[in-house]
Amino acid sequence: MAKSSASFVCQSCGASTSKWSGRCESCGEWNTIVEEKPLSAGPASKSLGAARGRAVALTDLASTESPPPRTVSGVAEFDRVLGGGLVPASAVLVGGDPGIGKSTLLLQAAAHFARQGLKTLYVSGEEASAQVRMRAQRLGLADAPVKLAAETNLRDILTTLEEERPGLAIIDSIQTMWADNVDSAPGSVSQVRAAAHELVTFAKRRGMAVILVGHVTKEGQIAGPRVVEHMVDTVLYFEGERGHQFRILRAVKNRFGPADEIGVFEMTGGGLSEVANPSALFLSDREDPAPGATVFAGIEGTRPVLVEFQCLVAPSPLSQPRRSVLGWDGGRLAMILAVLEARCGIPFAGLDVYLNVAGGMRVSEPAADLAVACALLSAREDVAIPRDTVVFGEISLSGALRPVGQTENRLKEAQKLGFTTAIAPARSKAGEKPGLALKSYAGLAGFVGDMFGAG
């Protein structure tokens, strides 16, 4: 390959160009292009092997050392998402929309960790100490031995951490931090990247755990470069609908535990409270069986969670009928509509489709396909699905139903919550469940014919 003359690199996506521009052509981010000078001015052809480096000390993969003990906060939902507690010297990034409750969650976590004897420092770059103290009072945490600082200067924060040597530092938020050796405004990509890098390397070197709060952009990504996600060990997203009281903390990356694990919280006047049994909560305010409502037996991380899909189908005045989805993937909905039309002869042309997951939950499992199809048909045919039925299964493009993982756990949860019928793909591996009848179908057409007398 010819030697590249490019020396301008996008700090967001890593694309390199030969000239500066205000906007990166490859990822569309603004003001992310920075000139990167080569490390040495020497001839580029000189290979690294030419001059000897220092031999690195090697260790064995097999070791008798026991892993360092995790610190458990006592907030079970939070600890589970971390993979069973906070790992010393780990870096955690918590992302979420503004106002979703990140500061509340972390102040509560800080108080719990501090009460467990972990020296905890909470640095707020957004609120004054008095504000944080007032919130703590409202949450009933005023007596927790948490050290507070309201500061944005990274150099001062690092010096403080050096002197205080806490076991855990919480930085709220990484976008407000300002490194004086970087020549751009706080919140800019280079600042965020530099601040995250400094804090994470400090944490690793000093054996301190660090939790960074990150704001999320309109596109739902943590503002600033993706590289921040690579720098940390664990990435958690705090999500939920502002109008709903439920909040879900989801691990999207975890070097110390399973990803996709969730913790469920409820936002109350006294802060976030844990929800130990999310299924019961998500289904608690169900009305009488209405057309378009279907209960899906889902799995989130290691836990079964039952949620309700709600669907409304109405004649559309538009030439392009509306497809409105909340809590589920729009592309996946289009696929299911296409399969229903092509394989079962049920068209949705000329009909508006609204699909919701109740309670502000977000479902991403393909296992929900059959529940979505069931909700769609139930709404379209105006036939209510019996109240005591759960549905799960993946739909393939051919219209076949594919068995999904963890069938046993899904059925157990349904049985526990008093459901009497489960609709699942044929060949699903499951043992007998007293009181729960399993209806299985090999194809979507068979299911449609049986349930709705069409197809």
Report whether 97 belongs to an annotated binding site. yes
Q: Which of 86, 100, 236, 368 binds ligand TYD (CB under 6 A)?
A: 100
Q: How far is CA 409 from CA 136, 224, 228, 298, in A?
A: 39, 39, 35, 9
Report whether 99 belongs to an annotated binding site. yes
Q: Which of 104, 120, 176, 191 binds ligand TYD (CB under 6 A)?
A: 104
Pick between residue 103 and residue 191 the one whose CB is nearest to Mg ion: 103
Residue 453 phi, psi (nearest 5): 60, 30
By rule CB under 5 A, what count of residues binds Mg ion? 1
Cα(53)–Cα(364) distance, integer angstroms: 48
Task: Let me know: does 70 contact 84? Beta carbons within 8 Å.
Answer: yes
Report whether 301 belongs to an annotated binding site. no
Report whether 100 belongs to an annotated binding site. yes
Q: Residue 426: which of ligand TYD, Mg ion, none does it interact with, CB under 5 to 8 A by kind? A: none
Task: Let me know: does 139 contact 270? Beta carbons within 8 Å.
Answer: yes
Pick between residue 248 and residue 283 the one whose CB is nearest to Mg ion: 248
H-helix segments, 165-277:
189-206, 227-231
CB of 427 to ligand TYD, least distance (A): 44
Q: Residue 100: which of ligand TYD, Mg ion, none does it interact with, CB under 5 to 8 A by kind? A: ligand TYD
H-helix segments, 232-316:
278-282
Pick between residue 213 and residue 401 the one whose CB is nearest to Mg ion: 213
Q: Residue 73: which of ligand TYD, Mg ion, none does it interact with, CB under 5 to 8 A by kind? A: none
Q: Which of 90, 103, 120, 407 binds Mg ion (CB under 5 A)?
A: 103
Cα(105)–Cα(79) distance, integer angstroms: 12
SS3 percent helix, strand, coil of the chain, rounded to 5, is: 30, 25, 45
- Residue 101 sits in the site that holds ligand TYD (CB under 6 A): yes
Q: Residue 393: which of Mg ion, ligand TYD, none does it interact with, CB under 5 to 8 A by kind? A: none
Task: Kindly report the length of the chain.
Answer: 455
| Helical packing angle, 444-452 and 330-344, nearest 10° | 80
**Contacting residues toward ligand TYD, per CB under 6 A:** 96, 98-104, 135, 138-139, 267, 269-271
**Contacting residues toward Mg ion, per CB under 5 A:** 103
Residue numbers belonging to the annotated binding site: 96-103
